[in-house]
Structures are given as structure tokens and as C-alpha cells.
Chains A and B, each alone.
Chain A
Amino acid sequence: MHYQQNSFTELFKELYRRIFQRNPIIVLIAGLCPVLAISTTVSNAFSMSIIVLCVLLLSDVTIRLVRQFFKIELMYFLHVLILSFYVTIVDLFLKGFYIEISNNLGIFIPLIAVNCLFFEQYENSRKQPSFLLSLFSAIGSGIGFALIMIFVSFLRELLGSGKVFEVTVFSKPPAIFSLAPGGFIVIGFITAFIAYIGKRFNRDDK
């Protein structure tokens, strides 16, 4: 394992890059499955975000610890094994202690094991020689996922059910926002908006 010295600036740059410039949902369009399915309520999105962040961190640290004993050919298999291990642990833990969350998130907890976000993070981590940079990259991905997930769910809950945190804001909401097409529409608008802002800033820089 490489313990390369990194300055705080480097670490926070990586964190910023993963949250905004390489955001897994709106920039990389990776891991959309739970975002479309789970983001109907803010509480679901919050739970999913915590789970994704924990699994990202744990799998990244574990793969760093064990990868020195393996050759590159086996790393993908190992990554899937480690990911499945942590996802099963989280699934069992929720079934044991937070059954409501487990019921709400349902099949989307086991599906984390095959989420593109984790494979993208693995690829990023594989190329990254520094342990700390890789860790900050995983944290950034998790936070980037959580921010967009919670924002999307806030909009969908508000527009789809007319409620926010069980408080009714308006009656007779358009139900489409609670369904997957509504998720696509909301994510599409956010992605377009962020892309527009990004382009505009880049143009200003030039």
C-alpha cells in the first residue's frame, strides 16, 4: 500500500472534483437505478445515501488492504466479492435493527452490489496510488451521490405527493413525479441545468 504524502489542498480538490465535476449521478450518469426508484421520499433517499457512502468507504478501504496479495487479473472478482460482502452485511443489519428502512428500500439494497457507481469508483481507485486520495475520492462520490439523491427526492416528494416531511404543501399533485418517468424528468432537468452552468463558467474562464 502506498502512503503517499498529500497536501490538504490536494485532498479537498479531489473531494470537490468527485462531488461536483465528476458527480456520479449528473455528470457520470452512473448508479441511476436507485435514484429513479428510491427517490420518491426524502427519508428513503437519506437512508440510501448513508448506505451507499458506508459501502463505498468500507469497500474502498478493504480493497486497498487486500489488493497487495493479488494480481491484477483477480481484482475485479475481488472487488465484486468485497462489495457483495458489505452489501450483505448492510442488508442483514437493516433487517435486524431497522426493518422499516429495509422494507422501504427493498431490492435496491442488494442491487448496490452491481451498481455502476461502485465500479466507476473502483476504476478510479485502481489508478490512484495514494490511499488518502482514494479515500477522499470515495467520500466525494458518496457525498455527490447523496446531495443529488436528496435534492431529486425533495423535488419529487414535493411535486409528486404535494408534501414535504409529511407536511402538505398543495393538494392534487401530478402523480407522474412519484413514478420513474418523473424521476427521469427531474434528473434530466437538473443535469441540463448543471451542464449549462458548467459551460457558462468555462466560457467565462476563457
Chain B
Amino acid sequence: MNINEIRKVFDLASRFAIVAAVFTALLLVFYSVIDPVRQNNVKRIMERKYSEVLPRSLHYEEKHIGNKTYIAGYDKNNYPTGKIVLVNTSSINDRLDLLVSVGEENKITGVAVIKQNKIYDILDRSDIDAYFRQFTGKSLYDLKLQDGGNDIKPVRGALSLSDIYFTAIKKGLEDVEVINALSTK
């Protein structure tokens, strides 16, 4: 490779690098403008989900205890109304993020899906909502009994998904139990 060829390659590379740097700078500017709006959106969506699963609460506070994180809900007099835990389950081709909330008596007040595999979008939303409503008022003890019983009907046409939901909700209640045990110490 002679000096002219090296110069040619260097010239091409430097031109490309300049254009890439300009586009990157533009993206950084755009990102710095959009990111606060995006974070605000995420916060707003999460708060809407919190109010769906723990409707009696007026404001929410993120708390950490041990290695667990949960959202504590409070009413207008600042009395605690319950706890919300985020359950993540994942397998090779599946991922589920689920909110499980319990009232002060440790019974489920609501369940909401935050993120799941898009394939489940084909299911009827009302069937899934009806499935989650069956959990309202249930405690961890009730769900442990359910392992051998059948008083919670699975989502129509989605037995394995119902099983994933059930396991995730049970895991959420177990997390709440650990949080309760840690907070009484």
C-alpha cells in the first residue's frame, strides 16, 4: 500500500468520522431534551398502575428493606393502605413483569401486568382482567391451598400463561411476607 492509498483511506475515514460525530452530537442534544419527558411518562404510567392495584391510596413511596424493594401506599391522612411489589419472572423466551398489591390485612387488592411477551396480546384483555379479579381478597395461605384446588379458573385458552401468572402472584405474596417479617424486626 503506497502513501497515496493510505491518504485516500484516511481521507474517507476522517470524512465519515466527522459526519458520524455530527449525527451523534445531534442525537445527544435530542436525547437530553426528550429524556426528562420520557422519565416523566414512565413515572406517570407507573403511578396509574399503582392506583389501579391499590385504589384507596393517594400517594406512593418507594421503600427498601433488606434486599427487597416495595411501594408503600398512603391515604389522605397519611395512613398506610398497603404495599405493592414488582415481580419479575423470566425464562428463555418469556418475560413477565407484574405488580401485586396487598392491603394492610395482607390480602390481594389488585394485580397488573407491566410487561410481558407480545404474543399474549392476542388474548382477550377482558379474560385476563377477569382472571386477575379472582385473586382479589386472597392471601398467600389461600393460594397455597389453591395448588391442589381449582377455585381460580385459568384464562380461557391460555393454561400455561395462567400458570405463569399464578406462580408470579404467589411469589409476590411471598415477597410481601418477607418484607413484613423484616419490618417487624
Contact = CB atoms under 8 A, between A and B. Distances in A.
Interface of A: 37, 40, 66, 69-71, 73-74, 77-78, 81-82, 85, 88-89, 92-93, 95-97, 99, 106, 160-161, 175, 178-179
A178 B111 CA distance: 26
A109 to B, nearest CB: 13
B41 A70 contact: no
Nearest to B41: A99
B27 interface: yes
A77 B122 contact: no
Given A71-B12, A74-B15, A74-B16, A96 B23 contact: no
A77 B34 contact: no
Contacts, number: 53
19 contacts: A40-B121, A40-B122, A66-B19, A69-B15, A70-B16, A71-B12, A78-B16, A78-B19, A81-B20, A81-B23, A93-B34, A95-B34, A99-B41, A99-B42, A99-B45, A106-B118, A161-B122, A175-B122, A179-B119
Given A92-B38, A93-B34, A95-B38, A81 B27 contact: no
Contact of A92 (B15, B34, B42): B34
A89 B27 CA distance: 7
Contacts of A175: 122, 157
B31 interface: yes
Nearest to B34: A96
A178 B38 contact: no
Nearest to B27: A88
Interface of B: 12, 15-16, 19-20, 23, 26-27, 30-31, 34-35, 37-38, 41-42, 45, 118-119, 121-122, 157
Which of B12, B34, B35, B42 has the largest count of A CB atoms less than 10 A from its CB? Answer: B34
The 8 closest A-B pairs by CB, nearest first: A96-B34, A96-B37, A178-B122, A85-B23, A92-B34, A99-B41, A95-B38, A96-B38
A104 to B, nearest CB: 8
Given A40-B121, A40-B122, A92 B19 contact: no
Nearest to B33: A96
A96 B41 contact: yes
A133 B174 CA distance: 64
B122 A179 contact: yes
| Residue of B12, B16, B121, B122 with most partner-chain A CB within 10 A | B122
B18 to A, nearest CB: 9
Contacts of B121: 40
A105 B38 CA distance: 16
A96 B41 CA distance: 7
Contact of A85 (B16, B26, B45): B26
A73 B9 CA distance: 10
Contacts of A96: 34-35, 37-38, 41
A66 B18 CA distance: 12
B114 to A, nearest CB: 10
A203 to B, nearest CB: 41
A160 B122 contact: yes
Contacts of A95: 34, 38, 41
Contacts of A69: 15
A40 B119 CA distance: 11
Contacts of A66: 19
Nearest to A85: B23
B69 to A, nearest CB: 23
A161 B122 CA distance: 8
A81 B38 CA distance: 24
Nearest to B157: A175
